[in-house]
Amino acid sequence: MSRDTGEQSPFGRGFVAACIVIGAVLVCGAVLLIGDLTSSETAAVPGQAQQQAAVQAEPGGAEPAAPATPVNLPSAGRPDSGCNRAAGDQAIPQQPPAVDGWEVTSRIVVPRSSVYGPAKTDADGFRRCFAHSPTGAVYAAYSAYAAMADQDKVVATARKLMVPGPETDALIRELQADKSTSGYTVPQVAGYHVIDAGPDRVSLMLATSVDAAYMSITLTLVWHDGDWRLQPPAAGEPVGAPFAQHRDLSDFVAWSGV
């Protein structure tokens, strides 16, 4: 796997709000792939070692801020979950999960399963109610990626998708103040890699094809109020960081409906 090791983030301050629209993230990332930047080879490292490698890819190699502990407050921006999904198999999916089928939402092809979710889809197309398991979190991550791709709904998406708290409030304020438009075509998800998984918290990378290589974003999902929700970024950071480039999918479970 090849990972960018530059000291400076390629994502300027102006991209922070726009980066909830994943297309902006990945088009920015494509610059890394075609630019004359120094990169280094890293071996495939599972679990915590991979997580440490992701930390080192952040500017300055600093440890990220400790995530806020979710509290059981009423969900902001979405109806009562009412999901009542069983916990299910807690094994990390090392092979492509079984699917009932693939469907298109916000031009992104996403999986659906009667076992893993989503069990409910809101009137605005927001998919929710995923199984309380690592596989359910993978399903939720694919749907989260698709939800973030729809720039017309970024504020509503942030309210429904993110764990409520000060970081989410700050992100929403920045999204409301940002008037830019991306106009980018959002790539399809090509695969995933689970970095770390616990009963109520799963960190993973999603890989997408950019030019002749792959870019990945990093998402952390937290079990909150009966469903998987995204841990918001620290203030001033883009959604999906840290980002990385990869020569191929050898470190990922290749899983795509296209």
Query: What does the buried/exposed string (b/e) look like for 77-116 if buried means 16 or more CB atoms within 10 Å of the residue's CB?
Result: bbeebebebeeeeeebbeeebebeeeeebbebebbbbebb
Q: Evaluate whether 2 touches 34 at the Cβ level (below 8 Å).
A: no
Contact 20, 239 (CB under 8 A): yes
pLDDT at position 166, please? 93
Q: What is the rounded average pLDDT for all residues in the chain?
A: 75
Segment 119-149, tens digit of pLDDT: 999 998 999 999 999 999 999 999 999 998 8
Q: Quick check: bond before 118 cis, omega within 30?
A: yes
What 8-state DSSP symbol labels residue 24? H
Alpha-carbon torsion 205, 208, 210, 212, what sign? positive
Q: For residue 33, what pLDDT is reported?
A: 38
Show the 3-state SS of 90-148: CCCCCCCCCCCEEEEECCEEEEEECCCECCEECCCCCEECCCCCHHHHHHHHHHHHHHH
* pLDDT (0 to 100) of residue 246: 95
pLDDT digits (tens, 9 = 90+) for 42-91: 333 334 334 444 434 444 444 444 433 333 333 445 555 568 777 888 99
Report the range of poorest mean pLDDT among 27-36, 84-93, 164-173.
27-36
Per-residue pLDDT at 77: 52
The pLDDT of residue 143: 96
Tokens of 63: 């440890």
Q: Provide the residue type at 256 as one letter.
A: S
Whether residue 35 is predicted with pLDDT greater than 90 in this model: the reply is: no
